[in-house]
Amino acid sequence: MKIKTSIKFTTIALATTFGLALAAAAADTAPLPPASTKTGVTYATDIKPIFDQSCVKCHSGDKPKAKLKLDSLENALKGSKDGKVITAGDSANSLIVKCVAHTTADHDSWMPPAHNKANIGPLTPEQIGLIRAWIDQGAK
Ligand code: HEC
């Protein structure tokens, strides 16, 4: 009886470890969530609420992280210390989309950063889809 239980436990532990490893591997190569099918997506109506909730804590004010401000359309389009993070009309190649979808090779670029002090969680696939639609529709 005791042996059976421990075999069972080992099996579960192994399966869990293997499952987690698979999930981690999948995250690295995960495709981008599809763009939302919503039309007329704009910064003011659809994107500002997302950025306000999940990004402006670090990307606004006097010392915005990476010198990127996301508190207005104009500032978002300006980009960061490294240049543009949005390529209007091409969400799949926009750095900001890769960062929130966790498809950059550098995990430090995954946004919001993991385990941030403000406890701001990752965006949902729906939110990422809206950002993609906004950029694909011209980032207006
Ligand atoms: C808790 C603070 C914090 C939050 C919240 C946060 N960021 Fe960042 N962001 C950073 C830091 C720090 C960096 C610089 C990372 C680095 O250089 O490795 C950064 C860098 C970036 C960059 C890369 C700029 C570049 O050119 O390298 C983008 C794009 C970005 N953030 C977008 C976002 C978006 C979009 C959100 C909201 C969904 C967000 N961030 C939320 C702290 C934050």
d(CA 17, CA 25): 12
- What six digits make up the tokens of 49? 């609420």
Residue 95 is predicted with a pLDDT of 98
Ligand 1 centroid to residue 84 C-alpha, Å: 13
The pLDDT of 30-50, averaged and rounded, is 96
Residue 76 is predicted with a pLDDT of 98
pLDDT band (50, 70, 90) for residue 3: low
Q: Pick from 82, 94, 109 the residue to mutate for probing ligand 1's pocket: most ligand atoms within 8 Å of its CB.
A: 109
Task: Scan for tokens 């978002």, then name that residue.
Answer: 76
Give yes or no for a contact between 104 and 98, defined as CB atoms under 8 angstroms apart.
yes
pLDDT band (50, 70, 90) for residue 31: confident
**Which protein residues touch ligand 1 with a CB less than 6 Å away?**
54-55, 57-59, 65-66, 68, 70, 80, 82, 85, 95-96, 99-100, 108-109, 111-113, 116, 118, 120, 123
Residue 96 is predicted with a pLDDT of 98
pLDDT band (50, 70, 90) for residue 12: low
Residue 107 is predicted with a pLDDT of 96
Long-range contacts of 105-111 (CB under 8 A, 24+ apart): 111/55
Residue 11 has pLDDT above 90, yes or no: no
Taking only the tens place, the pLDDT of each residue in 120-133 is 999 999 999 999 99
- What six digits make up the tokens of 84? 């543009």
Ligand 1 centroid to residue 13 C-alpha, Å: 35
Q: Which positions ≥6 away from 56 have C-beta within 8 Å?
A: 70, 71
Ligand 1 centroid to residue 113 C-alpha, Å: 7
Residue 60 is predicted with a pLDDT of 98
d(CA 111, CA 120): 10
Taking only the tens place, the pLDDT of each residue in 43-100 is 999 999 999 999 999 999 999 999 999 999 999 999 999 999 999 999 999 999 999 9
Task: Scan for tokens 């950059």, then name that residue.
Answer: 104
The atom of ligand 1 lying closest to the CA of 50 is: 38
